[in-house]
Amino acid sequence: MNKFAVVRSQKPLLSFQIHVRSFVIIGMLISLLAVAIVASIGLGSIRIPVSEVLKSLVGMGDSTFQLVVVNLRLPRILVSVMVGAALAVSGAILQALVRNPLASPDLIGTTNGATAAAVAFIAFSNGTYSIHWLPLVALIGGFFAASLTYVTAWKRGLSPFRFALIGVSISAAMGALSVYFMISGPLYLTSQALGWMSGTVYGTSWDHVLTILPWVVGFLLVTIIQSRTLNVQELGDDIAKSVGVQVERKRLILIAVSVALAAAAVGIAGGIGFVGLMAPHMARKLVGSSYGALLPTSALLGGLFVLLADSAARTLFVPLDVPAGVFTAAVGAPFFMYLLYRSKRE
């Protein structure tokens, strides 16, 4: 199936190639995501049959179901999908820039910086400020840590290796800072902070959806427009320069996009792991390493995994609402191992 279909139109002079296999896989993932969303809406302490779910979605359902679907479950599901997509794309960008398969939003300090800021906020605000400010504070923390990494690693240009190694250190420093705040703060803080660190989309509302939606969609579009730059960046600075890419400038923009996506996701949902590291690798096994197809596939996979993880987390241990972050790896890792195993057979 490794073929290209050529699309040409005479009227607006337009011609492009579509990688058939990637196209099919992305189509399959979109349908899978849609099915998963409908199924997930139906599951929970009140079970809702599929027909009622669909009716409620178009606003013609039973009023009880309508309330549960539209006000409670749908926002949470949308937030999980967006968080997953944002983290996955953020990871995919960094893997191209750092040229290291271990790159992920945690690597350059975004996640730990956001966590440190969140923990500090909980510890020192002591209830004087509304908890609604928490996502913003976390976002700022994530940006701060990533900028610190960038500035510290800058020395007549940014070597990916230096960037990664300093990122690990800044990340460790931020982790240490969180622990320090936790120890020096009040006792109840510890459990609150631990919940935050494992990552949860519990209690998200339409406010969250509307806050994160333009942000995530906007930056995803920027990334997809930049996918050719990413392809070139992955080949190394020299090649990128020789084909005419302004390496440092593009790199700064892409890092900023990656941080913006990850920090927003972490701000809303806390430290959901695994997706940022692994979704891009899974996508690579499915559609190859060209970023045009890789980015949408990563985003879909990331969204799908966080959605599945959260669905499992809120339904399997009723009445306990387990943090979704606990399940992302449990859902995703077996699939990744299967892909790893399968790709060896070829």
Question: Which stretches of the chain bind another protein, using CB under 8 A?
Answer: 100-102, 107, 152-153, 155-157, 159, 161-162, 164-166, 168-170, 172-173, 175-176, 179-180, 183-184, 198, 273-274, 277-278, 281, 317, 320, 322-323, 326-330, 332-334, 336-337, 340-341, 344-345
For residue 305, the minimal CB distance to another protein (Å) is 11
Distance CA 171, CA 158 (A): 18
What 3-state DSSP class applies to 128?
Answer: coil
Is 180 or 206 the residue whose CB approaches another protein more closely? 180
What 3-state DSSP class applies to 256?
Answer: helix
Is 96 or 322 the residue whose CB approaches another protein more closely? 322
Take residue 35 and report the two structure tokens written for it.
């099915």
Is 7 or 183 the residue whose CB approaches another protein more closely? 183
Backbone angles phi, psi at 186, to 5 degrees: -65, 160
For residue 128, the minimal CB distance to another protein (Å) is 24
* Angle, in degrees to the nearest 10, between helices 20-42 and 291-315: 20
CB 180 within 8 A of CB 119: no
Take residue 321 and report the two structure tokens written for it.
């609402």
Q: Please report which helix (H) or strand (E) contains residue 15, including its range.
A: strand 14-19
For residue 83, the minimal CB distance to another protein (Å) is 17
For residue 254, the minimal CB distance to another protein (Å) is 19
For residue 145, the minimal CB distance to another protein (Å) is 12
For residue 339, the minimal CB distance to another protein (Å) is 10
DSSP 22: H
Q: Which residue has the tokens 């942000």?
A: 215
Is 67 or 102 the residue whose CB approaches another protein more closely? 102
For residue 113, the minimal CB distance to another protein (Å) is 13
Distance CA 317, CA 99 (A): 40
The number of residues in the chain equals: 346
Is 124 or 161 the residue whose CB approaches another protein more closely? 161
For residue 124, the minimal CB distance to another protein (Å) is 16
Cα maximum dimension of the chain? 69
Distance CA 96, CA 251 (A): 10
Take residue 282 and report the two structure tokens written for it.
């899974």
Q: Which residue has the tokens 């509302």?
A: 205
Take residue 140 and report the two structure tokens written for it.
């700022």
Distance CA 246, CA 93 (A): 16
For residue 123, the minimal CB distance to another protein (Å) is 14
Is 101 or 218 the residue whose CB approaches another protein more closely? 101
Is 129 or 161 the residue whose CB approaches another protein more closely? 161
Is 67 or 337 the residue whose CB approaches another protein more closely? 337
Give the Cα-Cα-Cα angle 137, 269, 183 (nearest 5 degrees): 60
Is 61 or 141 the residue whose CB approaches another protein more closely? 141
Take residue 276 and report the two structure tokens written for it.
């940022």
Take residue 180 and report the two structure tokens written for it.
């320090």
CB 309 within 8 A of CB 331: yes
